[in-house]
Structure 1
Amino acid sequence: MDTLLAVRARGITKRFGDVVALDGVDLAVTQGRIHGLVGPNGAGKTTLLGLLLGLAVADGGSLEILRTPIGRALAAPDGVAGFVDGPGLYPSLTARQNLAALAALRGRAAGVEEALDQVGLTDVADDRAGGFSLGMRQRLGLAAALLTRPRLLVLDEPSNGLDPAGKRHVHGVLRQLAADGTAVVLSSHRMDDLEALCSEVTVLATGRVVFSGPLDELAAENGALDYRLLTSDPAAARRVAAGTAGVRVADDSGERLVVRAPVPALDALMVRLVQAGVAVRELAPVVSPLEAAFLALTDQQHAEAR
């Protein structure tokens, strides 16, 4: 299994003076997968991303990237690319000139046009980066990372500032990279991005890992959730819900009910509504299962720390 890992971290610790940023962190990132890294502010996400990009070194533990042991030098193996806290760009240069300058620094003469096309910036390639929106700068930063044809791509909030079309385009790029064998580590506060892209996720809180594994297992960590329920007959739906084991009506004001239930009880409610002749027009979680599990895990960790 280790031969399929792009990242293997064991017991990583990192301090900044008296502040413990990472406390015994384990991380395994599989080649060809998109791995989400999430946590509240101050959880240690940026510090961990910096270690993967060779911008900092760990104080303790062991780290292998692309099967190369990482020592005490500020460097990352060939094949690693990405950005933390937004991409660094030359604002006075155009998008094409920015990429050409980076390509020259890396001894590459080709790949600029392909990278621009991949991220959908060909039409603005000759516009200065200083006039770009946040989303366009994020896409140009992704293009800069793609110049190296990375085997490990590390991205910090890559969807920041993207409009729906831009986000869809970037998601498609990341999915294709993973399909071609690239490992992607994606840090984001947006649960919809994680649900759309990631097959695995690591949750950090106060510098420690509180969960790491498949995304569906994280969602399953949470039990009962609140769901918005819109039906053809709210009064009848309220009666059926009140009489279904495991279901509690959390809010019955207006046409939409809010019911709290685990998935098996919710399934039973749907069956009973159909049997009662009540049409279900909308059923959606008030908070996504992933977000609910994330909040429960991080709140629990903060309570234990206190």
Structure 2
Amino acid sequence: MESSAAVRSRSTTKYYGDVVALDGVDLDIPLGQVHGLVGPNGAGKTTLLGLLLGLSVADRGTLEILGSPVRRVLGTPGGVSGFLDGPGLYPSLTARQNLAALAALRGHGAHVTREVEDALEQVGLSDVADDRPRGFSLGMRQRLGLAAALLARPRLLVLDEPSNGLDPAAKRHIHGLLGELAAGGAAVVVSSHHMDDVAALCSEVTLLSNGRVVFSGPVEKLAAESGRLDYRVVTSDPAVARRVVGETPGLELVSAPGGVRAEDDVVVARGPVSAVDELVVRLVGAGVAVRGLGPTVTPLEAAFLALTESGSTLAPLGGPR
């Protein structure tokens, strides 16, 4: 019976000399999902991605990819493609020639031309197919790297910061493409420092800190762990708004926390979302118009900061899979 898991890791540990890069990582990533991998610099994300791509092997523990145990030999597992630290490209070849060379190495045979054209179209690079990547922007090189990965028709696609250098339109296009791949049954693992990308793209996320998993589960569950947030409130009467904040149970008035510019017409309130809901009701009751309301950082980013700074650990909904 074919496994429904793209990745299954148990107590996976990786050392570099005396440095513990991964420390007993347990992780399950099913097929048909875009899974985010996040964490501060040095958390172990790159090391884990390298294991998935066969660029290195674990020192302890077990790792299964697409139902097959990973042996202690280097080499990309079958059905897996992607890139780490940016795609490797031939700068003197055109975009089309880069893909054709890779397709030929993979033995695509008579269908190589059609597959190359399809890959270029998927990532929106058909118009520059005859240009050389040495003149490409960062975002265009990222898209060409993704096209190269798609040539393998992967069941597990591993991408390191795929949104780097993308303008908003290109980012939306690539997000849509990755979502389609997951809907078609592939697993996509995306490493990113951009919490807005993770929230928009991923259904589940794994948060690493100091080589350990501190959370793995639905994005909504992680965002809900942020608890008390700072909310930026713009109203028609800031003076009354400050008074109402002070009178609302569960809220406290904050004076321009980090990252928020002090403004005369802005009130910053700290508390849970239920208290903020009550604040809106009270402001309207006091005849104050609410012109803007939102957290100073996203709930996902707040949870990320809280967990990585405290070192605490959360279990996913339903416990370990």
CA distance in 2, matches of 1:215, 1:135: 26
- Counting only pairs closer than 5 Å after superposition, residues 97-246 of structure 1 correspond to structure 2 as 97-108=97-108, 109=112, 110-246=114-250
CA distance in 2, matches of 1:194, 1:209: 17
Q: Which amino acid aligns with 2:83?
A: F
Is residue 2:92 matched to residue 1:82? no
> Contact 1:9 / 1:64 at 8 angstroms: preserved in 2?
yes
User: Do structure 1's residue 61 and structure 2's residue 61 form an aligned pair?
Assistant: yes
How far apart are residue 27 of structure 1 and its match? 1.2
Question: Given residue 29 of structure 1, which amino acid in structure 2 is its aligned partner?
Answer: I
Q: Deviations over 1:223-270 (max 9, x none)?
A: 110011111222222221111000111028510111101111111111
Structure 2: how far apart are the matches of 1:175 and 1:297?
Answer: 27
- Per-residue deviation at 1:5? 1.3
Give the aligned partner of residue 304 of structure 2: 294
**Higher mean C-alpha displacement, 231-240 vs 289-298:** 231-240
Matches of 1:66 and 1:105, distance apart in 2: 23
Aligned equivalent of 2:319: none
Query: Do 1:40 and 1:298's aligned partners in 2 also have CA atoms closer than 8 Å?
Result: yes
Give the Cα separation in 2 of the matches to 1:191 and 1:222: 13
Higher mean alpha-carbon deviation, 49-58 vs 166-175, is at 166-175
Give CA-to-partner distance per residue, 1:195-227, whole Å, 9 cap, x none. 101111111111111111111111111211001
Q: What is the percentage of aligned positions where both structures have the same residue?
A: 70
Q: Secondary structure at the residue paired with 2:8?
A: strand
Paired residue for 1:20? Answer: 20
What residue identity is the alignment partner of 2:290?
V
In structure 1, stretches of 5+ residues that fail to align are none
SS in 1 for 2:189: strand
Task: Give the 4+ runs in structure 1 shifted more than 6 A.
Answer: none
The one-letter amino acid of 1:269's match is L
Alignment check: 8 A CA contact 1:227 1:283 kept: yes
| Residue pair 1:38, 1:204 contacting (<8 A) in 2 also | yes
In 2, the alpha carbon distance for the partners of 1:288 and 1:254 equals 23
User: Contact 2:232/2:292 (CA < 8 Å) preserved in 1?
Assistant: yes
Aligned-partner residue type, residue 138 of structure 1: Q
| Residue 180 (structure 1) shift | 1.1
Contact 1:70 1:76 (C-alpha < 8 Å) held by counterparts: no
- Number of the residue aligned with 1:281: 291
Question: Which letter maps to 2:299?
Answer: P
Query: In structure 1, how many angstroms separate the alpha carbons of the residues matched to 2:158 and 2:280?
Result: 42
User: Is 1:154–1:184's contact at 8 Å kept on the other side of the alignment?
Assistant: yes
Over aligned residues, Cα RMSD in angstroms? 1.3
Which residue, out of 259, 262, 270, partners 2:269? 259
Q: What is the TM-score with the length of structure 2 in the denominator?
A: 0.91
1:31 alignment partner in structure 2? 31
Task: Tell me if the contact between 2:3 and 2:66 (Cα under 8 Å) persists in the aligned partners.
Answer: no
- Name the amino acid aligned to 1:141: G
Instruction: Report if aligned partners of 1:6, 1:67 keep a CA contact under 8 Å in 2.
Output: yes
Name the SS of the counterpart of 2:165 in structure 1: coil
**Partner of 2:3: helix, strand, or coil?**
helix
Rounded to whole Å, the distance in 1 between the matches of 2:42 and 2:55 is 18
How many Å separate the matches in 1 of 2:300 and 2:4? 26
